[in-house]
Amino acid sequence: MPQGSSQRAARAPHKVAVIVDEGTNPFEVGAATELFGLPRPELGLPGPLYEVMLCTPAPEVRMNHGFFTVTGVRGLDAVDTADTLVVPGRPDNVVPRVAAVLDAIRRTHARGARVMSFCTGTFALAEAGLLDGRRATTHWMWAETFRELHPKVWLESDVLFVDEGSILTAAGSAAALDLGLYVVRRDHGAEIANAVSRRLVFAAHRDGGQRQFVERPVPDVPDASLAPLLAWAQERLGEPLTVADLSARAAVSPATLHRRFRAQLGTTPLVWLTGERVALACRLIERGEERLDVVAARSGLGTAANLRARLRHGTGLSPSAYRRRFGPGGGETVAE
């Protein structure tokens, strides 16, 4: 159980509506319900984090390739009480969405609720007019089609997800999990997000982007898994680890280690190590540690000044603001 979770006050769960349109991909609907809909007694919280509502534009909707149909869920009026709207993707992205779906998306955004798309659900957001002049992403196989249909959108085709404040887009089906965990972390902090990721058996944060998924020749000799090295480093984040230490542990040169990180994680050893240290610092603050020098030392960030800079870069919050939002005390200030 995350330490300090039981101390959080009960509050009304955040309502998440998921639009299930004709031809929707089942995986992304499942990802939304897995991320936001399941009870999580292991967290020791006084209530659920989210309340999920599936909604459809018709009483019966066929899923992608007619695998099954969805019936007995709410109509599109469910979006009118949602705090977040999730729009999964469909394979027939050049076929216009029905007017009722586009209207539901528009009015949800117009009243200030958060709107998220998974995979090619970005097409629906663009068709509804939400993305003109904004950054967004979608699956790399559909990037050129998207640019042709929606030239006013700034498409970033080599990232896992894009956060534009109240509008967020994920690049693919698996990237829906990346975006969902990012949102859980933004809503409830790193400790809760890490607990959810452990339940999913999925990394709480994957660096890199879609460039690592674009088709490329299979190497003659596949790289050895980085998992043992990553686990070893995560147990020693408070120590003065360097890239040289990591390469020595892996018994490879620093150049080879960089290639393996790029190939398997889409990032560099140093960026990965810094990200893990920031995540640990977040967990320490959430658990109630108020002394910045202690947080900095235990997370391997060194100094309080470096901790402030790294935390603000990684979360957009100062340590005191982070603790007010996610700490066990609520309203108390970290000693800075």
Q: What is the pLDDT of residues 82-115, one digit of tens each?
A: 999 999 999 888 888 999 999 999 999 999 999 9
Percent share of the chain, pLDDT over 90? 52
Question: For position 206, what pLDDT does the model report?
Answer: 56
- Where do you find CATH 3.40.50.880 in the chain? 5-200
**45-59, 216-230, 241-255, 294-308: which range is least confident on average?**
216-230
Question: For position 91, what pLDDT does the model report?
Answer: 87
Q: Which residue has the higher pLDDT, 226 or 304?
A: 304
In contact, 103 and 123? CB cutoff 8 Å: no
C-alpha 315/C-alpha 110 separation (Å) is 26
C-alpha 24/C-alpha 22 separation (Å) is 6
Report the pLDDT averaged over residues 239-253.
Answer: 92
Q: Which residue has the higher pLDDT, 21 or 266?
A: 21
Question: For position 6, what pLDDT does the model report?
Answer: 44
23-72 pLDDT, tens digit each: 999 999 999 999 998 888 877 777 788 999 999 999 999 998 888 999 99
Question: For position 283, what pLDDT does the model report?
Answer: 87
- The chain-wide mean pLDDT, for the chain, equals 85
Q: Which residues contact 51 (CB under 8 A, 6 or more apart)?
A: 13, 14, 15, 16, 37
pLDDT-derived band at 218 (thresholds 50, 70, 90) equals: very low
Q: Of 51, 8, 46, 52, which Cα lies nearest the Cα of 30?
A: 52
Question: For position 322, what pLDDT does the model report?
Answer: 86
DSSP state of 268: -
258-279 pLDDT, tens digit each: 988 888 777 889 999 998 899 8
In contact, 274 and 310? CB cutoff 8 Å: yes
Please report which helix (H) or strand (E) contains residue 69, including its range.
strand 69-71
**The domain at 5-200 falls in which architecture?**
3-Layer(aba) Sandwich (3.40)
Question: For position 216, what pLDDT does the model report?
Answer: 34
CATH code at 220-336: 1.10.10.60
Question: For position 263, what pLDDT does the model report?
Answer: 80
Question: For position 329, what pLDDT does the model report?
Answer: 56
pTM of the model: 0.68
- Where do you find CATH 1.10.10.60 in the chain? 220-336
Helices (H) and strands (E) in the chain, counts: 13, 11
In contact, 111 and 125? CB cutoff 8 Å: no
pLDDT-derived band at 325 (thresholds 50, 70, 90) equals: confident
Report the pLDDT averaged over residues 246-251.
Answer: 92
pLDDT-derived band at 10 (thresholds 50, 70, 90) equals: low
Question: For position 249, what pLDDT does the model report?
Answer: 92
Report the pLDDT averaged over residues 179-201.
Answer: 84
Helix (H/G/I), strand (E/B), else coil: 38: coil
Q: Of 299, 284, 298, 297, which Cα lies nearest the Cα of 334?
A: 284
Question: For position 217, what pLDDT does the model report?
Answer: 35
118-134 pLDDT, tens digit each: 999 999 999 999 999 99
